[in-house]
Amino acid sequence: MHREPRPSWAIETRGLSKAYGSVPVLKGLDLQVRRGSVFALLGPNGAGKTTTVRILATLARADTGQATVAGHDVVAARSRVRRAISLTGQYAALDEEQTGLENLRMMARLRGRSPAAARRRAAELLERFALTGAGDRRVSTYSGGMRRRLDIAAGLVGDPEVVFLDEPTTGLDPRSRRTMWATVGSLAGAGVTVFLTTQYLEEADQLADRVAVLDRGRIRAEGTPEELKKTVTAQRLDLTMAGSAAYQALVGRLGGRALHRAPEELVLGVATDGSAAHVRALLDELDPTREQVARFALHSATLDDVFLELTHE
């Protein structure tokens, strides 16, 4: 009998739990991240995202459970894990008095490369991250997006198998954020496994092959962005009511059928398959007099809907 080969996981956890004092942060975390993929861990503040990254990067120990990164146990083979990974946090860890080139050369020398090899590697990374023109400038003159790109470049000096990006676009403007997205995409294209934590739902939707939603230390759902969206509803009909009385009346009639409520905007959302026939039927059912609904719009489900549904934010 032919058996399918076991998938090759870059990261695998089983039953990870962690508490700080009497406060539980992780409660039996199980994850599997395929090699060469982009995996996004979503969750509100305090959900346990950064604690998960710290455990996987060997900066903290779980109270119970096991974890392997790049095939190595994070406790028993801590040094091997550290050689196989790169970690970039929310704020760039760079020497601002040195130039971008000097930062990268220093990192390469610390990784054991010869002076000539360090210069070559630094030049390669500056070009790869579109920083060649700024390579001779002090990092203190860099914009936030440039610093973040240089920080990731510094982490790639040692050719890591797994890159952890802990909320890497926090504080960046929209243009810099999109530049970072292109950078992350290029990492995955080169075969590097990217483990991304973020609060930006659009970011996960754009970048991730798979997404897990973490809330209060537990995984609430996991799948591709499209799979997660279907758990909410593929389409939603948003109704803007003619007034507060009409809004409250429809809230009472819909009950649990209301997928979305925005009382300040007088908007209610209900599930639909998106077809014209179903939309007409819903409008006839919910506004038979054609006086209570001021306007309507079809809304495709987003990861924001999934996030709000699963984390009850």
Angstrom distance (rounded) from CA 230 to CA 43:
19
- Asked whether residue 85 is assigned to any structural domain, the reply reads yes
154 and 241 in a common domain: no
Q: List the one residue out of 183, 72, 54 whose CA is nearest residue 129.
A: 183
- Asked whether residue 289 is assigned to any structural domain, the reply reads yes
212 and 113 in a common domain: yes
- Asked whether residue 38 is assigned to any structural domain, the reply reads yes
How many CB atoms are closer than 10 A to CB 279?
16
Task: Look at residues 223, 238, 264 and tell me which one is the last residue of a structural domain.
Answer: 223
Q: Tell me the CATH number at 278.
A: 3.30.70
239 and 182 in a common domain: no
- Asked whether residue 169 is assigned to any structural domain, the reply reads yes
SS3 content of the chain, % helix, strand, coil (to 5): 40, 30, 30
Q: Tell me the CATH number at 37.
A: 3.40.50.300
What pLDDT shows up at residue 55?
97
pLDDT digits (tens, 9 = 90+) for 93-129: 788 899 999 999 999 998 889 999 999 999 999 998 8
**Single-letter code of the amino acid located at 77:** A
238 and 262 in a common domain: yes
CA distances from 185 to 11, 12, 269 (A): 19, 22, 34
CB contact set of 217 (below 8 Å; sequence gap of 6+): 17, 24, 25, 26, 27, 29, 47, 48
- Three-state SS at 102: helix
217 and 74 in a common domain: yes
153 and 126 in a common domain: yes
pLDDT digits (tens, 9 = 90+) for 149-194: 898 888 888 889 999 998 888 777 888 888 888 888 888 888 899 9
Task: Look at residues 208, 223, 238 and tell me which one is the last residue of a structural domain.
Answer: 223
- Asked whether residue 3 is assigned to any structural domain, the reply reads no
Q: Extract the tokens encoding 180.
A: 């970072």
147 and 81 in a common domain: yes
What pTM did the predictor assign?
A: 0.74
- Asked whether residue 2 is assigned to any structural domain, the reply reads no
207 and 248 in a common domain: no
Instruction: Report the helix count and the strand count for the chain, using DSSP H and E.
Output: 11, 14
CB 265 within 8 A of CB 197: no
- Domain extent, residue 297, equals 230-311
133 and 155 in a common domain: yes
Task: Look at residues 172, 194, 223 and tell me which one is the last residue of a structural domain.
Answer: 223
Phi, psi of 170 (to 5 degrees): -60, 125
201 and 118 in a common domain: yes
Q: Extract the tokens encoding 25.
A: 């942060």
Instruction: Report the number of distinct structural domains present in the chain.
Output: 2
Spell out the alpha helix ranges (H) of the chain: 49-56, 78-84, 100-110, 115-128, 144-155, 174-189, 201-207, 225-232, 244-254, 276-286, 303-311
pLDDT digits (tens, 9 = 90+) for 38-89: 999 988 888 899 999 999 999 999 999 999 999 999 999 999 999 999 988 6
Angstrom distance (rounded) from CA 64 to CA 82:
21
- Edge-to-edge strand order for the sheet containing 85-88? 85-88, 162-166, 193-198, 38-42, 210-215, 218-223
274 and 218 in a common domain: no
- Asked whether residue 15 is assigned to any structural domain, the reply reads yes
50 and 72 in a common domain: yes
Which pairing describes strands 23-34 and 9-20: parallel, antiparallel, or unpaired?
antiparallel
